[in-house]
Amino acid sequence: MPSKARKVAIVGVGAVGASCAYALVNQSICDEIVLIGRSAEKVRADALDLSHCMDFTHNRTKVGTGTYADCRDADIVVLSAGVVMIPGGTRLDLAASSLEICREIVPQIVAAGFEGVFLVAANPVDVVTGIVLKLSGFPRSRVIGTGTSIDSARLKTLLAEHLPVDPRSINGYVLGEHGDSQFPAWSHVTIGGKPIRDILAQHGERFDRLDLDVIARQTRNAGWEILQAKGATTYGIASALASIARSILNNEHRIVAVSAYLEGEYGQSGLCAGVPAILTRDGMTEIVELNLTPGERRRFAESCGVIRGAMEALALDAIARS
Annotated binding site for substrate: 91, 123-126, 151-154, 233
Give the amino acid at 185: A
Give the DSSP letter of residue 297.
H
Among the residues of 27-114, which ranges form H helices? 40-51, 95-111
Angle at which helices 95-111 and 125-136 pack, to 10 degrees?
Answer: 30
In Å, how far are 5, 15, 142, 174 from 76, measured between CA atoms? 12, 19, 9, 25
Q: For the stretch 38-73, what's the b/e string if a residue is b when 16 or more beta carbons lie within 10 angstroms of its beta carbon?
A: eeeeebeebbeebeeeeeeeeeebebebbebebbbb
Q: Respond yes or no: is residue 203 known to be catalytic.
A: no
Rounded Cα distance, 217 and 112, in Å = 43
Rounded Cα distance, 130 and 259, in Å = 9
Rounded Cα distance, 41 and 46, in Å = 9
Taking only Cα atoms into account, the Rg of the chain, rounded to an integer number of angstroms, comes to: 19
Q: Output the known binding site for NAD(+).
A: 16, 42, 68, 82-83, 121-123, 146
In Å, how far are 74, 125, 149 from 132, measured between CA atoms? 17, 10, 19
Q: Output the known binding site.
A: 16, 42, 68, 82-83, 91, 121-126, 146, 151-154, 233
In Å, how far are 3, 39, 43, 73, 277 from 62, measured between CA atoms? 14, 20, 14, 15, 30
Q: Tell me which of 52, 58, 162, 178 is the catalytic residue.
A: 178
Total H helices, total E strands in the chain:
9, 14
Rounded Cα distance, 82 and 154, in Å = 23
In Å, how far are 28, 80, 322 from 106, measured between CA atoms? 27, 12, 10
Residue positions annotated with a catalytic role: 178
